[in-house]
Structure 1
């Protein structure tokens, strides 16, 4: 099992959700609103003639715990929706999962995520 975690722009979340519902049977997804800074180095705006630099930009983290064979499909789906040449597009991280346990039933391993 693997955890796929994608930090993406907020406006891409609905597209990701729709694509997951349409193209792929995922039994769970966790979404968190986060703030972050990367190569984009923040954003400069002007309010009433004053320059305001926002260094921590709002993003969304979308996480999936998947069977190993489903990981590349979800990564490709995220890339197809979110990839652009712009700074601040996001990152995808993949982590190994040692164990998953469904608290309600006590099921373990892939049975707990399906």
Structure 2
């Protein structure tokens, strides 16, 4: 029995839910979280991202520039969705692959993270079933 923890972009929540259902996940929990990943150190990627984000912005003022700078230099946290999925060991590879396919983008950064952890036990409250039967 394993727990799969996936951190995904907010705009990928619906795609992730569909992927989890299609992959046969027994159930999952999704939580709004704030965070950030490893900073991109390639100056060319950062410069390109700055131009793209500024072009998308309707306002071209100091507040926008400040938000953009904080986003790119790592001082700003931004919203993500955290999925927790309990799965039988044999289902883990399919679920992980489904999450990857639903969340991979052409951006090359910020597509999320997946962690797989062992679970020692689970208990279904209604029936008191334990272990794999509780999933």
Q: Which TM class, normalised by the smaller chain length?
A: 0.7 to 0.9
CA contact (8 A) 1:101 1:107 kept: yes
Q: CA RMSD in A?
A: 2.0
Displacement after TM superposition at 1:16 (Å): 1.4
Aligned pair count reads 111
- In 2, the alpha carbon distance for the partners of 1:24 and 1:90 equals 19
**How far apart in 1 are the matches of 2:14 and 2:89?**
25
2:6 counterpart residue number: 6
- Could you list the runs of 5+ residues in structure 1 that have no partner in the other structure? none
**Is contact 2:24-2:95 (8 Å) kept?**
no
Could you tell me which runs of 5 or more consecutive residues in structure 2 were left unpaired when the two chains were aligned. Answer: 41-48
Q: Which runs of 4+ in 1 moved over 3 A?
A: 43-48
How high is the TM-score relative to the length of structure 2?
0.73
Which structure 2 residues correspond to residues 30-41 of structure 1 after superposition, within 5 A? 30-40=29-39
Deviation of the 1:40 alpha carbon: 4.1
CA distance in 1, matches of 2:109, 2:123: 38
Checking the alignment, whether the CA contact within 8 Å between 2:4 and 2:114 is kept in structure 1 is yes
Greater share of strand:
1
Higher-Rg member (1/2): 2
